[in-house]
Amino acid sequence: MAKAKRIEGLECEGDVRAGARLVLSTRLDEMCSVRESALDFTDIKGVHDMRVASRRLRSALRDFAPYMRRGIIPSKGLKALADALGRVRDEDVAIKALGKLKATVTSGIADGIERIIDERRCRRERAREALKARLTENALAELHEKYIARFEQATIANMEQDAPRASRTARPLSFRRAGREIILARFDELKALSYSLNHPFDAERLHRMRIAAKRLRYAVELFHACWVGEPFTQVAKEIAELQKSLGELHDCDVWIADLGARLDERRAENGSAIQVWARERKRERRAAIWLLRHFVKGRTRHFQDALARWNRWETSGFYRRLVIPDCRTK
């Protein structure tokens, strides 16, 4: 997983709004700074890095939303860019995974996998063209300028809007205390979704749990510097492992759905001429069935990993490691 840029100048006892503005502007700069790498399609790492940076930015926006003025920062532009990056990244990952699997099978199945890879390459080219349109210098510069201005507006103190949280004479909420609230809120979201582990085949709920784990990890990584003695680096690693298990589980679900639809589509296209279809598409069909078996087996393994890890968290008191006393400061 790509490492986040260190945010210089954060004051843990400073106003959360000032800290939020610094975090958001830094994360935006971080995302925009990898534009050239993202457009260098000879190395798929560039798109990955920009996608992760966009995720961190959007996650931070969600975290700080309760502490900022409402209705100032639009989500549409960032989401559209994240979606464009995601479509390219998904094909990069699929092609890479299929390439590795192709090297482990017999020639008959390998030929069928290569046909599937060719289709994914075509989809990736279309996705890359759409991404290039969003990543022109002018388009990205306009997005950067727009959001920097909105971050400034959204983090200006507004006493009328702040009234529900504190009186006019109250000390502004510190970045550190807001961090505590955010981390615990993200964990509560993850815990609420943990019941999806009781339903192994509920792919959508398990996917939402993966996203919740990712958001918790980002929050822990962002705020861990504001406490002394808390082993937050290790905590973040443990969360990352859960996220990885759930992420690989989700990848298997996507593959299973895609391969099942592929087999259905090929049969429907040929109607009653199944024997003709089988003769012409035999290798692709064999490859799709082999891949389906592979990902079904993998899904079981990743689900078991996620279930075992969450059980260890519950029995070892993982939650207590996130309940940060207000009194400890850095």
Nearest to 1, CA basis, from 243, 252, 304: 243
Measure the CA–CA gap between 153 and 160, rounded to whole angstroms: 15
Handedness of CA 25, 32, 75, 182 (dihedral sign): negative
3-state secondary structure 186-236: HHHHHHHHHHHHHCCCCHHHHHHHHHHHHHHHHHHHHHHHHCCCCCHHHHH
47 in Cβ contact with 87 (< 8 Å): no
pLDDT band at 166 (very low <50, low <70, confident <90, very high): very low
Spatial CB neighbours of 149, under 8 Å, sequence gap ≥ 6: none
Joined together, the tokens standing for residue 55 give 């995720």
Tell me which of 172-186, 243-257, 292-306, 310-324 is least confident: 310-324
pLDDT in tens, 180-204: 999 999 999 999 999 999 999 999 9
Measure the CA–CA gap between 158 and 20, rounded to whole angstroms: 15
pLDDT in tens, 216-275: 999 999 998 887 555 677 888 899 999 999 999 999 999 999 999 999 886 655 555 555
71 in Cβ contact with 117 (< 8 Å): no
pLDDT of residue 316 exceeding 90: no
For residue 220, the model assigns a pLDDT of 92
For residue 27, the model assigns a pLDDT of 97
The contacts found for 311-319 with CB under 8 angstroms, 24 or more apart, are: 313/238, 313/242, 318/238, 319/187, 319/191
Beta bridge partners of residue 15, listed in sequence order: 174
Nearest to 323, CA basis, from 219, 180, 210, 178: 180
pLDDT in tens, 109-141: 999 999 999 999 999 999 999 999 999 999 999
Q: Quick check: pTM over 0.95?
A: no
For residue 151, the model assigns a pLDDT of 96
